[in-house]
Structure 1
Amino acid sequence: MFIVTNREVDEARTTVKDAFKSQANARGPNELRLAEAVREGGKWKVRILPDQITDKMAKEVGLEPTLDAAGKPQPIFASSYVARRILARVNPKMAGGTGKGRNLLFFVHGFNNNVEAVLDRAEQLEQTYGVEVLPFTWPANGGGVHGVVSYKSDKRDALASTGAFDRCLGRLEQILHAIHEEHVQRVEALANKRYGSGDKIDAEQWDRFFTEQSQKWCPFSVSMMTHSMGNYLFKHLLKSSIYRGDRLLFDNVVMVAADTNNEGHAEWVDKIQCRNRVYITLNERDSALSASRMKLGEQQLARLGHYPHKLDSRQAVYVDFTGQPSVGTSHAYFEGEPLKNERVKRFFQAAFNGETAEDGLRFEAARNLYRLK
């Protein structure tokens, strides 16, 4: 599994605890680093990737350096290496391999999560839903303290990580665009070879072939899940001056147990661009969000992830999990005990795989939400 972070890292270390620090990168909170994590003997081992990859790494994934005007090779960055490795998993045919492939889920975690916990959860998501998970981890360790102080510390870190999150999405956009362009060129060449080009083209057959092959060679979806305080981070990016509103990256955006204000949420939620759905999930009995609201007393307004009122976004699809068997007071009802409820698992299976997930649910018009009951 690959992971992207704005935490301070130690390239010489291979254990999660030593390789990733609890504070932001010393070069600034917008600095991004990439790492590869694997389980060995039940423990996570990590390799912090160099910013500029080696010739051996480039050869491993078939990357050729571009040349500048003077004919000098330009450096290849780790993000291009990671993109090729992930592409081989989500779309093996396009990468020259075999197999069915899988969809990609970009995961942004919440409050008080160390990197080992993030990797554990990402692994559970992969195993449960059959997706390839790319986690973005920000310094959400509470600064080594607990309770209200920890919570406030993580909120400050989330705000400071807004720029890094934006850079991460920007680079992801560039990578997906490059993959798309490579894919289009390949399919166009196949269509031209079979049905001609210019004045000799069979336009109807060419278009049909292009459409069919596009789906065949690029069958995977890309979705994002933001959990808990990860939604606070997303909110502040959407409300910031650096956010570009035309960024269309994801099929689904799934905002689970959002630890951010319900009040005024439509203002920023309606800025989200996606191809299919923006889902906001709620659980009125969510114990973590209840505690979150109490931490700051009257200053902390009702949380978006547990308040079934004022659900007024024009594009969001609200889904209420309250009272569902096995859900109880869960804050992470996409994993563990709640998945004994087949309706819960079915919803997240569809949502995380870029599909329409509300089909078959009961819509309550008075509150503008769907219920699993």
Structure 2
Amino acid sequence: MILVACASRPVGVLIPSGTSTGASEVNMLVATTRAPSGQPGVLFSGERAEQMSAAEITVSIPPDANREIGQVQWPKKMPPDPSREFSTVSVKPLNVPTDVRGWMKANLPKSRRILVFVHGFNNRYEDAVYRFAQIVHDSNTDVAPVMFTWPSRASIFDYNYDKESTNYSRDALEELLRRASEDPAIGEVTVMAHSMGSWLTIEALRQMAIRDGRVAPKITNVILASPDLDVDVFRKQWEALGKQKPKFTIFVSRDDRALTISRRISGNVERLGQIDPSQEPYRSALEKEGGITILDLTALKGGDKLNHGKFAESPEVVRLIGNRLIAGQAVTDSDIGLGERVGAVALGTAQTVGSAASIAVSTPILIFDPKTRENYGGQINRFNQSLGNTVSSTVGQ
């Protein structure tokens, strides 16, 4: 089904074709370790390049009245209809690092934040560009959007090639993050990664921490969506990041079929993006570490058959990313008016780590940061009381 869907899309969507009245534009910096394609409108292939290259790409997004929030409206044919479909406005090659530094300086908003997005497995270059444009637009986030795209052959049969391509790209992503962190004009850096891109992201941050003794202070937030990470390996990576870590937010979903497949071909070890954080041994381990917020999206209905892209397809979740997470603000159950039950429990009392804690059964998040629990414990306790304590219970010793 996935292969047929991809085959039905027109080739060459990155040929500039303009915009239309009422459409929005997203201007982004795209850095890549992919080899040039030579095919018009494709730009880069799934093969590996010797050096990182970059481009400035502007994508036109149709008016909200003509589209469903959370979805990419792919062109049915070329040229696209910008009033109803995504289209490419312009593509400009950039020199690394001179032009990249200039783009960041020219496109920084007042917040002085940049968002670096790293895509996941089975993505063509244009897939990643249009998906990131959708996330930036729908989240309405106040950032300069930067994407790092690594060599994926965009085939479900090339899982191992894609995984090795993330390893191949670690140094380049670390270089990009380092340059951004050292730029005096930039105030904060948020890194958001999806699926296999989470492996690449954590490895790049781990390398940085090993070289420098810590992750660069300007990298304040890391968001992992459906991370395709072996939980045992992630624990070791987490330790290598050192004591001064960025804030982490992890989107998980136990019905993620893509991660089920990944687990089966990876020795049947649990993937981080599919854990139940309310159960042991994960609950105790996360409480002990602190600084991690888990958003459990299992109860959310996904827009794809694999339930692997909920973070980008849910209008409420993508707005949460823009309104709260990228700004580094704490998230509580009251911040998420999803209407549907998202997750099982919320850990939210001011208890010390390791002691008994109150649980609100119908709230959408799990917070494993003691400071955040102190700030919002009273709020969740009042929520429990308003329900007549029927949803309260106590975690055992």
**Residue 29 (structure 2) aligns with:** 2
Q: 1:166 to 1:222 in 2, by over 3 A?
A: closer
Give ranges in structure 2 of 5+ residues lacking alignment.
1-27, 61-81, 335-344, 349-353, 366-397
Cα distance in 2 for partners of 1:150, 1:14 equals: 21
Residue 234 of structure 1 aligns to a residue whose secondary structure is helix
Cα distance in 2 for partners of 1:368, 1:156 equals: 43
TM score, norm. by length of structure 1:
0.65
**Residue 182 (structure 2) aligns with:** 174
Q: CA deviation at 1:114?
A: 1.2
Percent identity, aligned pairs only, is 22
Matched, 1:363 2:347: yes
Which residue, out of 135, 146, 169, partners 1:161? 169
Residue 113 of structure 1 aligns to a residue whose secondary structure is coil
Cα distance in 1 for partners of 2:147, 2:358 equals: 31
Give the RMSD, CA atoms, in angstroms: 3.3
Q: Is the 8 A contact 1:347 1:358 kept in 2?
A: no
Matched, 1:333 2:310: yes
Residue 272 of structure 2 aligns to a residue whose secondary structure is coil
Q: Is the 8 A contact 2:333 2:364 kept in 1?
A: no
Which residue, out of 222, 240, 251, partners 1:281? 251
Q: Is the 8 A contact 1:257 1:331 kept in 2?
A: yes
Which residue, out of 324, 344, 364, partners 1:372? 364
Matched, 1:86 2:99: no
Q: Is the 8 A contact 2:189 2:219 kept in 1?
A: yes
Cα distance in 2 for partners of 1:103, 1:369 equals: 35
Cα distance in 2 for partners of 1:369, 1:117 equals: 40
Q: CA deviation at 1:335?
A: 2.2
Matched, 1:117 2:127: yes
Q: 1:39 to 1:84 in 2, by over 3 A?
A: same
Q: Residue type of the partner of 2:223?
A: V
Which residue, out of 223, 246, 254, partners 2:190? 223
Q: Residue type of the partner of 2:212?
A: R
Q: Is the 8 A contact 1:252 1:276 kept in 2?
A: yes
Residue 105 of structure 2 aligns to a residue whose secondary structure is helix
Cα distance in 2 for partners of 1:227, 1:286 equals: 13
Query: How big is each residue's C-alpha offset from its partner over 1:37-80, in whole Å with a ceiling of 9 and x where there is no partner?
Result: 1236543242211347xxxxxxxxxxxxxxxxxxxxxxxx1222
Cα distance in 2 for partners of 1:284, 1:124 equals: 25
Q: 1:173 to 1:316 in 2, by over 3 A?
A: same
**1:1-373 superposed matches below 5 A:** 1-9=28-36, 15-17=40-42, 19-25=43-49, 28=50, 31-39=51-59, 41=82, 42-44=86-88, 45-51=90-96, 77-87=98-108, 90-91=109-110, 103-131=113-141, 132-142=144-154, 146-147=155-156, 149-175=157-183, 178-179=184-185, 221-240=188-207, 243-246=211-214, 247-272=216-241, 277-294=247-264, 296=265, 299-308=267-276, 309-311=280-282, 312-313=285-286, 314-327=289-302, 330-336=307-313, 338-339=314-315, 342=316, 345-346=319-320, 349-358=323-332, 360=334, 362-363=346-347, 372=364
Q: 1:330 to 1:345 in 2, by over 3 A?
A: farther
Cα distance in 1 for partners of 2:39, 2:102 equals: 19
Q: 1:266 to 1:81 in 2, by over 3 A?
A: same
Cα distance in 2 for partners of 1:51, 1:239 equals: 23
Q: CA deviation at 1:302?
A: 1.0
Q: CA deviation at 1:222?
A: 3.0
Q: CA deviation at 1:269?
A: 2.2
Q: Residue type of the partner of 2:87?
A: K
Q: 1:32 to 1:353 in 2, by over 3 A?
A: same
Q: 1:15 to 1:81 in 2, by over 3 A?
A: farther
TM score, norm. by length of structure 2:
0.62
Cα distance in 1 for partners of 2:87, 2:192 equals: 25
Q: CA deviation at 1:321?
A: 2.0
Cα distance in 1 for partners of 2:359, 2:197 equals: 22
Q: 1:316 to 1:259 in 2, by over 3 A?
A: farther
Q: Is the 8 A contact 1:350 1:356 kept in 2?
A: yes
Q: Residue type of the partner of 1:153?
A: Y
Q: Residue type of the partner of 1:171?
A: R
Q: Residue type of the partner of 1:4?
A: A
Q: CA deviation at 1:159?
A: 0.8
Q: Is the 8 A contact 1:104 1:223 kept in 2?
A: yes
Q: Is the 8 A contact 2:221 2:326 kept in 1?
A: yes
Q: CA deviation at 1:238?
A: 4.3
Cα distance in 1 for partners of 2:261, 2:227 equals: 13
Larger Rg: 1
Cα distance in 2 for partners of 1:171, 1:46 equals: 23
